[in-house]
Amino acid sequence: MTKYVAVAGKGGVGKTTFTALLLRQLVENFKGKTILAVDADPNANLDEALGFTVESTISEMLEDTKDPKAIPEGMPKNVFVEYKLQQSLVESEYIDLLVMGGPQGPGCYCYPNDLLRKHLEDLGGNYDFVAVDTEAGLEHISRRTIPQIDIMFVISDSSARGIRSAGRVYELIKGLSSSVTEVYLVVTKTKEGHLESLKEEIDKTGLQLIGDIPLDPNVVSSDLAGSPLYDLPLDSPAVQAVQKIVERTFK
Ligand SMILES: Nc1ncnc2c1ncn2[C@@H]1O[C@H](COP(=O)(O)OP(=O)(O)OP(=O)(O)O)[C@@H](O)[C@H]1O
Ligand SMILES: [Mg+2]
């Protein structure tokens, strides 16, 4: 059975950093299992965090199929669309990656949405884990492009405002028609004593705190250098923290 994992939270809190480190830990802890990473943020950068090169996003590929001249002569359109969707999957030894991309038309995912849902349903089922880096508005989740979510990590930075915002994301998740089985809070960029100071705010959200990721100088330098987070040293505080979270969550 495929386990669907999603990472949500407002802009800049550390979703992509967490997703990349989570993927690395899944590879480490579940050797031989297959993993699909999905970047559902219109402003995609999970590929960089993982050290992948992505030629085109799904939205771009589907946009190409709208031009009748682009379809090879004699090929039915649905076959062409299927071919294009398959082309958008980036494969590597441990992790495959699918990048959704942003809306191509004026603000609407409508055309590709049904196709995407079907594609993700078919594709996701081939993997042991599907991990999705979502955008703050939970667009793909509320539109049900992501077929199912077993574990949702709501990410907050280390601030009272961040925790309140995570609480609102939690309310949004609870209001969704698609069921999310387990929801956990992860507080990122923490320093000594931060969690104690935030305890009251965290309790108010009703979210279960599964762990925190300390402010990690290695993450900062990796960001400055533009190097993949996937290559952070094993003893990095952020890597160690994600390792603990994975051990608590995936038994
Ligand atoms: N544990 C950490 N220690 C130090 N810096 C961090 C940590 N986690 C995230 N950051 C930094 O915070 C910034 C935002 O992180 P990230 O890109 O992961 O957030 P995001 O939620 O995916 O943002 P967006 O909403 O723009 O996609 C980056 O500069 C990243 O390097
Ligand atoms: Mg991101």
Hey, which of 7, 10, 17 would you mutate to test ligand 1's pocket, going by the most ligand atoms within 8 Å of its Cβ? 17
Task: Among the bound ligands, name the one nearest to the CA of residue 13.
Answer: 1
**Binding site membership of 125 for ligand 1 (Cβ less than 6 Å):** no
- The predicted pLDDT at position 85 comes to 84
Could you give the dihedral angle defined by the CA atoms of residues 60, 74, 116 and 48, in that order, rounded to the nearest 10 degrees?
-40
Helices 77-87 & 110-124 angle (0-180, nearest 10):
60
What's residue 117's pLDDT?
79
Evaluate: CB of 239 within 6 angstroms of ligand 1. Answer: no
- 65 close to ligand 1 (CB < 6 Angstrom): no
Give the mean pLDDT of 148-167: 95
Contacts of residue 130, defined as CB under 8 A and 6 or more positions apart, other chains included, come to 2, 3, 4, 5, 35, 36, 37, 38, 120, 124
Q: Can you give the pTM of this predicted structure?
A: 0.93
Residues with Cβ within 5 Å of ion ligand 2? 15-16
| pLDDT at site 148 | 82
What is the 12 CA–ligand 2 centroid distance (Å)?
Answer: 7
Task: Assess whether the C-beta atom of 10 lies below 6 angstroms from ligand 1.
Answer: no
Q: Which residue has the higher pLDDT, 43 or 122?
A: 122
Query: Which amino acid, one-letter code, is at 207?
Result: L
State which ligand 1 atom lies nearest to the alpha carbon of 237. 1
Burial of 11 from C-beta contacts in 10 A (0-12 / 13-18 / 19+)? exposed
Which numbered atom of ligand 1 lies nearest the CA of 215?
3
**Domains of the chain with CATH codes:** 3-249 (3.40.50.300)
Separation of alpha carbons 127 and 141, rounded Å: 19
Cβ atoms of 145 and 120 within 8 Å: the answer is yes
What's the CA-to-centroid distance between 222 and ligand 2, angstroms?
Answer: 15
What element of type H or E holds 190?
strand 180-190
For residue 195, give Cα distances in angstroms to 12, 20, 91, 170, 199.
19, 23, 38, 19, 6
Whether 11 lines ligand 1, by a CB cut-off of 6 Å, is yes
Question: Is 164 within 8 Å of 38 (Cβ atoms)?
Answer: no
Please report which confidence band the pLDDT of residue 40 belongs to, taking 50, 70 and 90 as the band edges. Answer: confident
Per-residue tokens: 46: 């999970």
Ligand with the closest atom to the CA of 136:
1
Question: Is the distance from the beta carbon of residue 219 to the nearest atom of ligand 1 less than 6 Å?
Answer: yes
Can you tell me the mean pLDDT for 98-110? 67
Provide the pLDDT confidence category of residue 63 given band limits of 50, 70 and 90.
Answer: confident
Q: Does residue 68 surpass a pLDDT of 60?
A: yes
Identity of residue 36: L
C-alpha closest to that of 139 among 8, 4, 1 = 8
